[in-house]
Structure 1
């Protein structure tokens, strides 16, 4: 009520803008204009055809330790791209170490950060449950952060594409007024994600805030999308069981730091190990009854190997894999 939330939102955006000005040489002028207008950068045919084919073949045939999480009727599987995994995926290592990939992620993330990167597979409609909560429009946090999706399967409109509201990353007057109103009730919200700070919003409210219609990224494979997830976004509803496979990257730091580097994930012992270390810490915390870890160890699998059914949960039909094979 005192306006403290709006003050921190405004300061966080100003700090991100200040850092991005110092990182402007990481991306092209064309990409900067696209990002400032839309809140995302879209790159079709991101890799040359031969490079993409080699990467896809390596990823599809790789078998390694996986973690998964159920959210509503969807299951998300992740394979952490730590230094050991990348040693077996040289084409993928070339991608995630490339100046263009890192430049886009770091500019939008507003830091010289080390993104956390995974092979991510989203299996939709794998059990009888309420809809996946990620299908509701939301902002990840009150401040700018970055996520990237490099799609390894074609994504159709009916397959649950990524959705983003163009321009909603900007702290407009109406957006700030909405943030203030939401901040007074979010902590008591019955919606778990909103109560944690990832505020949900309806399409009607988005329009009342003056933003345009959400854009669904129904795109061919070999497409890269990098977005500021302070903008409103969601996972599209899937018309039926489907599989979406992508290289997924994430970066979020304290929004108020006046420097560009010093990312803890870049420390010698941590670099290339951050995700396994995080998962191990979460496992230990759970064993000590200090908190739960939603990312459950699920043995080893390939990225598109359909998850085995568990009691009360239907597995994905094997026929789904026809749309995901290289």
Structure 2
């Protein structure tokens, strides 16, 4: 059975609302939750970008059962890997072992703010690998010093270690990231239901480990309203990873998606309140071999109706996958 998760999407809601939403997701019966870690929304119409790690701390205290996870944090530009290790250890303690650390090579949208430039993809993966190695070493509780191609660490140490190291996930989009995830990760993360990504992960050591996907949805009793909202706030998503990782700001995403029509979005994202349409959108992830799928309900002000509907109708239907 595929585990179904809920996404705290920081690009579309404020910090207090996001905490309230994950409390509602726990009450509705979602199996886990994830949170995006952004400094910018994808489009100005989304309108938000609060600090994910403060929200995680609040969520850890406001909930008691639902697992938490970053989806995903980039440990190479805005954050130094030693700082990520400290954040993750602290949230794992606050949540009493419910936290998983999802990492990725990042997007220019979020990382450009520190003025470090945006190198080629292969360099970003080199940086990610070095950062993951540092984070792993920090979790041992020993003093860590490191002088590598991209990072320097001098006598770093975590003084507050959780009883259990948070599992580490790595986001993948191609062969090199799959190989990296297979070597280092406890779970793999992807946003497309591509079986070949999971097979490449398995080939490098990932066999038997969890596989977490993510799917945008737009629930509304008025399907036309759902399609319009999905087009307004999520048309950027149809651009694909190679585009989405490179653009520096919301204006760029708006321009890149200028020819995307509501009908295009409706073909890619289930909209409305047809339970079967939502189930069929999740099915490719299950068939590809994903063990978990986190849903993104589009529209920050439209979470409570979605959570009520999910508890009553959607989650019971998805349990049969």
TM-score after normalising by structure 2:
0.25
More strand as a share of residues = 1
With CA pairs under 8 Å and 6+ residues apart, which has the higher RCO, 1 or 2? Answer: 1
Question: Which structure has greater helix proportion?
Answer: 2
| TM-score for both structures, normalised by structure 1 | 0.25
